[in-house]
Amino acid sequence: MLLRALGVLAILSAAAAAHAQPREYVVQPGDTLYSIARRHGTAVDVLAQLNGLEDPHRLQVGQRLRLPDASGEGGQASDRERTHVVEKGDTLWSLARRYGTTPAAIARANGMSEEDTLRLGQVLRVPADPGEAPRLRLGSGASRGFAVVGLARRFLGTPYRWGGTGPGGFDCSGFLYAVFSRVGISLPRTSFEMFHKGRPVPRGQLQPGDLVFFSTYAPGPSHAGIYVGGGDFLHASSAGGGVRIDSLSKPYYHRRYLGARRYF
């Protein structure tokens, strides 16, 4: 009897030890922090903080990321949130009706737009109260900036179109206006207004999601983009033909740099 009890105790101890092991994910080609967060039912800022990522947009294939455990370590889900695994026929509208919220609230909580297509098996966070739905579950300005950059990257290659605010084309300020509106931040419509209404940010303190401004075709802040980290920025370039990434150290932009503004 004693041996049997000891055997059961050993099995339970092994199971507990296995459960205590941190969950990990190995980064695969094409992965982004946003796709990994959605796949595992967590949030971008939780993964970034849990893994000490200075630039969540520079993942390496084979990199090991720690995931929040089942108890919610590293970022517990709010009591006002639930999760839903997407089934055949689900849409944001049908889920909103089922859970008593709105499509926009679900989209914001999952870092997506209302036009995105749901995938079978996708894990969605469902806010219980649309009036208190988190904007991409972002608590800090830095994590909100990462979400802005993640959304902006989706539009890489979109054609340049004067006066355009998407989805078929953007001008520089129209691109910023469209991206920020998707995370619930209302920007002025022109780069000149954006420059004068945002909070100034010294160049040495730039964070992902900050707006960077240049004097190009006209005096003053006539061109703008979104800082993505690592000295790079995303923008709708008329000369480049559309949304692209360039370096602030590129001579053309280095000479014309005016400053940066923050809106979160």
Residue keyed to tokens 């050993």 = 10
Q: Return the active site residues.
A: 172, 223, 235
Sign of CA dihedral 108, 114, 119, 121: positive
Closest by Cα among 74, 96, 71, 75 to 84: 96
From residue 231, alpha-carbon distances to 2, 110, 206 in Å are 66, 27, 9
